[in-house]
Amino acid sequence: MTLTVLSLETSCDETAVAVLRLEAGKPQVIASLVASQVLEHAMWGGVVPEIASRRHLEALPGLIQGALEESGESLASMAAVAATVTPGLAGALMVGSVTGRTLARLHGLPFLGIHHLEAHLASVDLSENSPSLPYLVLLASGGHTELIKVSSDRSFKRMGRSHDDAAGEAFDKVARLLGLPYPGGPSIEAAAVSGDRKRFVLPKGRVSRPEGGVYPYDFSFSGLKTAMLRKVKLLGLEGEPLPVDDLAASFQEVVAEVLVERSLKCAFDTGLKKLVMVGGVAANKRLREMMRQRAFKEQIEVHLAPRAFCTDNAAMVGAAALKRLELGTTYSSYELGVSPRWSLEDVEALYRLPPPF
């Protein structure tokens, strides 16, 4: 039996629909459409939740039709409909979730509510050489920066996290400081190409433990952001044009170093020989290069999500759904709602009765 799923993603500012099929145990992307709202949010310097929900509502029907047409499939031939239900902007999540549940119910199909971080994790299964369990994952996006251990039984354990801004959020805020457009990651990456990454020395934020010492696998980006602000102000006082490229390159370098060093330390200490990198920030070429080089030296195998599936998309939601179907997960209730926050460690609750939200 071939398993085919329709998947929807509306947790933030990308409306996305995909059709995936499980072929010889591997998820194949048959169609993947993304309608990005970034240009509209860029006018405000960040995501405006109310606008996001409205745009999802407008874009979703056309994208569903488009993805089905492109795949040559009909809803009736789907094994299930999947949609992101947590975490994210509540109003935005609601659009995808209600649409998914309605389509599933109308066509008598099972519904799978998907955790957004599990979807990001599944994006690595869309690479040619997907890793076998167990492994450590660095998930770096606009909302999260976490180190997650995925055990052989597919259970998740958070090993590290950011105590303030997520890495992507730091890129977005620093870009604004440098006068670069939203989203900050791609615009800092572009400016950094011609910059000197060694010109400015910047702090690698550490998080102190109340009992002394530091949390070895945790992150803090707020001090780095403040250091950037100070540099920009000082340079402004000197009256010279701001060296945006050098500032961008130095910032990108220190963020990459922090992410790589702490991930490798965590992998090393936990004895995990495989490291996976996913999430919007994982699209960063300098970070990808540094992770590959340093992991090679430590004899740790690196698996990077394909760049096209690092930032939010529905293919990764479909990959997570197919994995669950393959493993025989029971479906979600049609009554399952949405939640702005939910721990990945408690993800199994999305498939239990009564639903947790």
Span of 97-105, 141-149, 173-181, 333-341 interacting with Zn ion by CB under 5 A = 141-149
For residues 277 and 304, is the Cβ–Cβ distance under 8 A?
A: yes
* Strand ranges for the chain from DSSP E: 3-9, 14-23, 26-36, 80-86, 111-115, 135-140, 145-150, 156-161, 274-278, 301-304
Could you tell me the smallest distance in angstroms from the CB atom of residue 72 to ligand KG4? 28
Binding mask 295-314 toward ligand KG4 (x if CB under 6 A, else -) reads ----------------xx--
Contact partners, residue 240, CB within 8 Å, separation at least 6:
none
Q: Please tell me whether residue 146 binds Zn ion under the rule CB under 5 A.
A: no
Residue 284 near which of ligand KG4, Zn ion, none (CB within 5-8 Å, type-dependent): ligand KG4
Among 27, 131, 142, 195, binds ligand KG4 (CB under 6 A): 142
Query: Quick check: 312 binds Zn ion (CB under 5 A)?
Result: yes
Report yes or no: 41 and 47 within 8 Å, Cβ to Cβ.
yes
Would strands 274-278 and 14-23 be described as parallel, antiparallel, or unpaired? unpaired
Question: Among the candidate windows 100-108, 126-134, 165-173, 256-264, which touches ligand KG4 by CB under 6 A?
Answer: 165-173
Query: Which residue is listed with tokens 């020989």?
Result: 273
Q: Which of 131, 160, 184, 205 binds ligand KG4 (CB under 6 A)?
A: 184
Amino acid at site 129 = N
Nearer to ligand KG4 among residue 21 and residue 288 (C-beta): 288
Which of residues 135, 171, 251, 309 is near ligand KG4 by CB under 6 A? 171
Q: Which of 340, 354, 353, 352 is nearest to 115 (CA)?
A: 340
Q: Which is nearer to ligand KG4, 110 or 186 (CB)?
A: 186
A 10 A CB-CB count for 236 gives 11
Residue 131 within binding range of ligand KG4, rule CB under 6 A = no
β-pairing, 26-36 vs 301-304, is: unpaired
Q: Which stretch binds Zn ion (CB under 5 A): 131-139, 234-242, 270-278, 306-314?
A: 306-314
> Interface with Zn ion by CB under 5 A: which residues?
141, 312
